[in-house]
Structures are given as structure tokens and as C-alpha cells.
Amino acid sequence: MIITMSGKAGSGKGTVAKLLTDKLGYTYISIGNMKRELATTMGLTISEFNALWELPENREKFDLKYEEYQKNLDVNDGIVLDSRLGFYCQSKAFKVYLDVSDEEAARRIFGDTERIGDTYNSLQAVQEATEKRNQDDIQRYKELYNIDLSDKANFDLVVDTTGKIPQQVADEIIEVFTHIQK
């Protein structure tokens, strides 16, 4: 079964998804990593890439391409899909939303030396960019798909990761996921 991981930037989606992948023996797919790699090959930061992504004339080139890719995944495959739109594209999946305070998200992103395509000079700059990105994504998906990324009713499980280590979050997800599988 597919597990979709959605949530705010800096909530730990990628880290927790990788832990789930290891524990469950699933395949990890990250739409965000695909976007960051594409941005890097285009010589853009992730913020510049997202601005380009948001232009209406680029919808088919970007959003629809990734939407179609996600919809074509087999729900019966063991996949952890790290994608803000995953819950929409895989309606029969186990859908998880990770929440986090804006302050904690900024601290995590600022301290992540392995994060591709994001460079910031200060914690304040990270927080401002992250809050803007979250709001821009919510607005874009409302316009494109008439869905609210922040509506937690779209998900089977919501976990606030503020103050939790990734292992705690992964264990919580596995506990609920295994329970519903029975």
C-alpha cells in the first residue's frame, strides 16, 4: 500500500518518509527532491524554481507532469510518497500530514546542510521564505485543483512534529498504519 506524506515545509516529511521506507521495506519517492534536482540543473534556487512553477503557462510543464506521475503509481505497491499533492493523487493510500510550528520548521531548514537548492543567510530569512512557500502552495493548489493543502480532514493521520524526533514520528505512523492494515 502507498503511504503519502504531506505537510508543511520543514515538518520532517523527507526524514520520516525515509525512516518509514527502511522500517517497512518500501520504496521512497520524493516529488520535492525531483523538483530540487530539476531546479539545480536549471541553475535556479528552489525559491526561484517555485516562482517559475507558479506561472500559469508552466502548469502543464510542471504540475500536471508530476500529478500524472503520482496518479500512475500502483496503490498496492509498497511506496512512501513524499509529496504535498500525494493525498489527492492517491486517494486510496494511507494519507499522513505532518504539521510543525513555523519557528521549528525554520530552525530545521536552516540547520539542514544536505538540503539541495535552499540557501539562507539567517534564521529569519528561512522563516519568511518558508511561511511564504507554504502560503503560495496552498493558494496554487486551491486555484489549480480546488483543494486545500492545509485541510487536515484530507488525511488519515495528522502528526504535529514540533518537539518530536523523527523516530518518534515514524513509530507513531507505523503504529496507526499497522493497526488499520489488520
* pLDDT given for residue 118 in this prediction: 58
pTM, 2 dp: 0.82
Helix axes of 31-41 and 63-71: crossing angle, nearest 10 degrees: 140
What pLDDT is stored for residue 116 in this prediction? 47
Cβ 80 vs Cβ 91: under 8 Å: no
3-state DSSP call for residue 29?
A: strand
Helix (H, G, I), strand (E, B) or coil at 88: helix
How confident is the model over 20-73, as pLDDT tens digits? 999 999 999 998 888 778 778 888 877 777 777 777 777 667 767 788 889 999
Alpha-carbon separation of residue 50 from 12, 162, 169 (angstroms): 20, 25, 28
Q: What is the pLDDT of residue 74?
A: 92
List helix spans (H) across the chain: 13-24, 31-41, 46-53, 63-71, 86-89, 102-111, 123-145, 166-181
Q: ∠ CA 45-130-85 to the nearest 5 degrees?
A: 85
Low-confidence ranges of the chain (pLDDT < 50): 116
SS3 of residue 44 by DSSP: coil
Overall CATH class of domain 2-181: alpha beta
